[in-house]
Amino acid sequence: MADGSSEVDSGPKGVTDLPVRLASAIIMVVVVSGALWLGGWWWVGFVVLLAGVVLWEWNNLVRGFGVSALSEVTWLFFGAAYISAAALALMQVRMNYSPLEVLLIFMAPVVAVDVGAYFIGRAVGGPKIAPSISPSKTWAGLIGGAFAASLLAIGVELANFGPTARDGFSWTGILMAIVGGSLIAVLAQAGDFFESWMKRRAGVKDSSNLIPGHGGFFDRADGFLAVFFVLFMVAVVPGLLGL
């Protein structure tokens, strides 16, 4: 999975390691797409495995905080709840939608945020959002990520694709696509900043070194976690409660 976790919106980093990052990203896309296409227990097993690895990396970061035992347990509990909620949302959308719908409507926009933030952030540079947390994240990168995600959402709307597709398109649908893309960009970047803050507090550069050129799985999934956690809270929880 690739999202907005890469801290390469500006500056020289990201040029020399781009081939390695690209190769790793292609492998991740193939694995995720394969599990998504197979669905069923393949998808459930993949999500559970991914969530387990991310939780392991989360716990390793927490151990570097140097907090009390009670605080550490609280952090671990929050991490388990946060990651599990996002994982359940990932499972739920695959149960209700086709693989292509899940890919284009739920996952690709988060990837688009990362791509837009990477290239626009590097090309434009400019003021940083929160340099004390993530020195390379710029406002231009955030706008670029929102633009890329919105553009993808508009494309889906114009193509009349998805479970609510109708003939033609409406300007209301276009507006909602822009709002949705912008919201996803903000959520993905918020997840990125949160993980960056955890890494700074733990005194490490990456959550792990499991993925060449990308760091750990938490580094790659931080934006997805934030987006799907919110999706879980606004869509899955009401359904479970019968609301």
> Per-residue pLDDT tens for 130-170?
888 888 888 999 999 999 999 998 988 888 765 555 566 67
pLDDT at 8: 40
Q: Give pTM, 2 decimals.
A: 0.85
> DSSP assignment, residue 237?
H
- The answer to whether 232 and 208 have CB atoms below 8 angstroms apart is no
Amino acid at site 84: S
Give the 3-state DSSP-derived string for 106-139, with helices as H, strands as E and coil as C: HHHHHHHHHHHHHHHHHHHCCCECCCCCCCCCEH
Q: Mind listing the pLDDT tens digit for each residue in 1-10?
A: 544 444 444 4
Where do the domains of the chain lie? 18-241
Rounded CA-CA distance 38/189 in Å is 30
Q: Mind listing the pLDDT tens digit for each residue in 56-112?
A: 999 999 999 999 999 999 999 999 999 999 999 999 999 999 999 999 999 999 999
pLDDT at 13: 47
**Banded model confidence at residue 22, pLDDT cuts 50, 70, 90:** confident
Give the 3-state DSSP-derived string for 21-84, with helices as H, strands as E and coil as C: HHHHHHHHHHHHHHHHHHCHHHHHHHHHHHHHHHHHHHHHHHHCCCCCHHHHHHHHHHHHHHHH
Asked whether residue 14 carries a pLDDT value surpassing 50, the answer given is no
Rounded CA-CA distance 14/10 in Å is 9
Token pair for 132: 């004390």
Rounded CA-CA distance 226/232 in Å is 10
Token pair for 51: 């969530």
